[in-house]
Amino acid sequence: MADTDLLNTPLIWINKYLQTKVEDLAGFTRLPFFPSSPSTLDDLTNTFPASQDGVMCVYDRLSRMNKSKFPHIKTEQILYYFYATADNSTVNMIKIQEAVLRLMDRLDESAEEVNNWCSIRKVNLGTEESPNFINNMFYFHRFKVYQLEEARDIIDFGTARTYGGNKFIIEFDYHQMPPINTPIWTPEGLPAGGKITI
């Protein structure tokens, strides 16, 4: 798989960085990340992964309108929902919240650390038997964190289980590499027979 594959997105690199660093800082054995699902509390209770620490993250990518006159630096947001089961859910939510803030809420300093971390790693989009490695194709400029809701308990009355929940938005600026002066397209010339009919 080529580094320019459409599956190579900034989201993959930020998620891998955040997953690894939050696990280290909070002392979790495993913090799984999933795309935006489940959408209801009942789905959550049925799909919550078996994890020694009882924590998980669900994310969604939010594209934003480019208000800059410079088209190559883009601003996007990622919406994160962090969940924890009843065992130490309050403590785990506090650990996750503090880890996310310490890692990602330092503007260009956070970006410098993420860029350094990504520069010495590859991501496998395949399996162990059939690996598809990609390299980071993005340079991050700035990160900012917004907390949408305070840490709170979510009670599912169907299963009588309690979950801790926390929502964050991480906003980031980036540009895609190779360098922006490298053309990624070339103008098509007029064929010898005239214009192409479509």
Confidence check: pLDDT of 114 > 90: yes
Q: How far apart are the first and last CA of the chain?
A: 31
pLDDT of residue 40: 53
Q: May I ask the CATH class of domain 10-176?
A: alpha beta
Confidence check: pLDDT of 17 > 70: yes
Q: How far apart are CA 47 and CA 85, in angstroms?
A: 12
Question: With bands split at pLDDT 50, 70 and 90, how would you rate the model's confidence at 158?
Answer: very low
How do residues 61-94 score in pLDDT, each as one tens digit? 987 777 777 778 889 999 998 888 756 788 888 8
Closest CA to 57 of 87, 14, 112: 14
Which has more confidence, 16 or 40? 16
Mean pLDDT of 19-27: 93
Question: With bands split at pLDDT 50, 70 and 90, how would you rate the model's confidence at 45?
Answer: low
Identify the weakest region by mean pLDDT among 2-11, 24-33, 113-122: 2-11
Distances (CA, A) of 46 to 37, 159, 160: 12, 10, 13
Counting every residue written for the chain, the total comes to 198
Mean pLDDT of 158-171: 71
pLDDT of residue 80: 92
How do residues 117-130 score in pLDDT, each as one tens digit? 999 999 998 889 99
pLDDT of residue 94: 86
Model confidence pTM above 0.85: no
pLDDT of residue 46: 59
Domain residue extents for the chain: 10-176
- Look up residue 10 and give its two tokens: 């900034």
Kindly state the percentage of the chain with pLDDT values over 70. Answer: 77
State the DSSP H helix or E strand holding residue 56, giving kind and residue range, or none if neither.
strand 55-63
pLDDT of residue 72: 81
